[in-house]
């Protein structure tokens, strides 16, 4: 079932007691660099450190009381894992998460800290959906997908409702909104919310090179799988193809997608740490990377960058900042 704007509004009510209403802040540094007005949606401050809690909380809240005892199962590289684990803990439900064995340690430890059981798998050689599906059958549990679910999309869309409300508060008309994209639940949910709220902003997905399934699908007019290959530094953004429900929303609402390289993602992580004083994981910095690399001309425009997550390995961030030194635009 494709979610509607009413579903996003209902999700906002449903998760209000639990989710953080994250701030939308203007960045003088980016304004000066770009000649536009640049606002940052700080989902890095969301419960569990990423936007994923919104969708997970909404989806779990929709499970009838009589079905909750058998718990939930999810598969994720980390942010959805923590979102589901945290929501399950809040609702008193057992949670089992299927995670890649090479997931960043903070994401594995964070998921376990919320009380979830973890089953690891080989990202290259094993099928995480098959593993999760088998466990669901064994336990009679509910499968909570990371993006291709109407309840998840509606929950992620609540971030877009907040953007619309805050844009009104600032008295600005948004031209473009840049959103990190993997399977597309966040970017499609935000586009749905902004459109439903009457905003005409162009919403762009931002994906890593070779994992740009959304960009390719939008261009083709149907779902297309990206080639994949060498793993990206943005471990949270490596879904090769957008979800089918996601794309039903995205195809009519999204502007052309943008693509960033690992080098550009590292520059964005470095810039966020040094200039913005923000800790942002590589996938969460994709929108910032696109802006800094000139993938969108922001001069004279009002632009929102969604910083979608902060669940980074501190050592890896420190290494990026140390190696790159003072920020300079990628050439």
Cα–Cα distance between 6 and 95 in angstroms, integer?
28
As a three-state string, the secondary structure of 157-199 is HHHHHHHHHHHHHHCCCCCEEEEECCCCHHHHHHHHHHHHCCC
3-class secondary-structure state, position 97: strand
Q: Where are the alpha helices (DSSP H) in 46-146?
A: 52-61, 79-91, 105-113, 128-139
In sign, the C-alpha dihedral spanning 90, 94, 100, 101 is positive
pTM for the full predicted model: 0.95
**pLDDT score, position 331:** 42
pLDDT of residue 104: 80
52/35 Cα distance (integer angstroms): 32
Q: How far is CA 89 from the centre of its chain?
A: 21
Indicate where the chain has its CATH 3.40.50.1100 domain(s).
5-50+149-324, 53-143
Residues 6+ apart with CB under 8 A from 119: 96, 97, 98, 99, 131, 135
What pLDDT shows up at residue 124? 82
Residues with Cβ within 8 Å of 289's Cβ and at least 6 positions away in sequence, in order, are 206, 260, 264, 265, 267, 268
Q: Which fold has domain 5-50+149-324?
A: Rossmann fold (3.40.50)
d(CA 308, CA 52): 8
CA-to-CA distance for 245 and 78, rounded, in angstroms?
22
Cα(127)–Cα(112) distance, rounded to whole angstroms?
22
Q: Which two tokens stand for residue 176?
A: 């473009």
User: What's the DSSP call for residue 42?
Assistant: E
User: Which backbone phi and psi does 134 adopt, to 5 degrees?
Assistant: -65, -45
Question: In this predicted structure, what is the pLDDT of residue 328?
Answer: 60
- The answer to whether 161 touches 139, Cβ cutoff 8 Å, is no
What is the pLDDT, as a whole number, of residue 329? 52
Of the candidates 133, 247, 153, 180, which has an alpha carbon nearest to the alpha carbon of residue 161? 153
Which contiguous run of DSSP H or E holds residue 273? Answer: helix 262-274
Topology of the domain covering 53-143:
Rossmann fold (3.40.50)
Nearest to residue 41, comparing CAs of 316, 297, 280, 320? 280
How confident is the chain (331 residues) per 10-residue block, as mean pLDDT?
A: 97 98 98 98 97 98 96 92 97 96 85 95 89 95 96 98 97 98 97 98 98 98 95 92 97 98 97 96 97 98 98 88 74 42
């Amino acid at each position: 079932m494709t979610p509607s704007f009413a579903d996003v509004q209902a999700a906002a009510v449903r998760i209000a007691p639990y989710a953080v209403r994250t701030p939308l802040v203007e960045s003088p540094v980016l304004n000066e660099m770009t000649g536009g007005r640049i606002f940052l949606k700080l989902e890095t401050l969301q419960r569990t450190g990423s936007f994923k809690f919104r969708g997970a909380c909404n989806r779990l809240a929709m499970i009838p009381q009589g079905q909750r005892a058998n718990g939930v199962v999810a598969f994720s590289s980390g942010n959805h894992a923590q979102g589901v684990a945290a929501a399950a803990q809040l609702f008193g439900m057992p949670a089992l998460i299927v995670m890649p064995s090479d997931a960043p340690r903070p994401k594995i430890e964070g998921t376990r800290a919320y009380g979830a059981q973890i089953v690891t798998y080989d990202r290259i050689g094993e099928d995480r959906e098959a593993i999760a599906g088998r466990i669901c059958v064994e336990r009679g549990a509910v499968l909570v997908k990371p993006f291709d679910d109407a309840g998840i999309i509606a929950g992620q869309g609540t971030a877009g409702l907040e953007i619309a409300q805050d844009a009104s508060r600032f008295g600005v008309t948004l031209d473009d909104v840049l959103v990190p994209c993997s399977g597309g639940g966040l970017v499609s949910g935000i586009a749905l919310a902004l459109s439903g709220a009457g905003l005409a902003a162009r919403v762009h997905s931002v994906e890593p090179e070779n994992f740009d399934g959304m960009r390719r699908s939008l261009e083709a007019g149907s779902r297309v799988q990206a080639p994949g290959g060498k793993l990206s530094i943005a471990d949270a953004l490596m879904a090769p193809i957008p979800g089918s429900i996601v794309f039903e929303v995205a195809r009519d609402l999204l502007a052309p997608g943008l693509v960033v390289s690992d080098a550009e993602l590292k520059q964005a992580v470095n810039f966020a740490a040094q200039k913005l004083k923000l800790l942002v994981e590589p996938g969460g910095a994709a929108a910032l990377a696109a802006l800094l690399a000139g993938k969108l001309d922001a001069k004279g425009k009002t632009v929102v960058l969604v910083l979608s997550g902060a669940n980074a390995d501190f050592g890896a961030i420190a290494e990026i900042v140390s190696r790159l030194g003072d920020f300079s635009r990628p050439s």
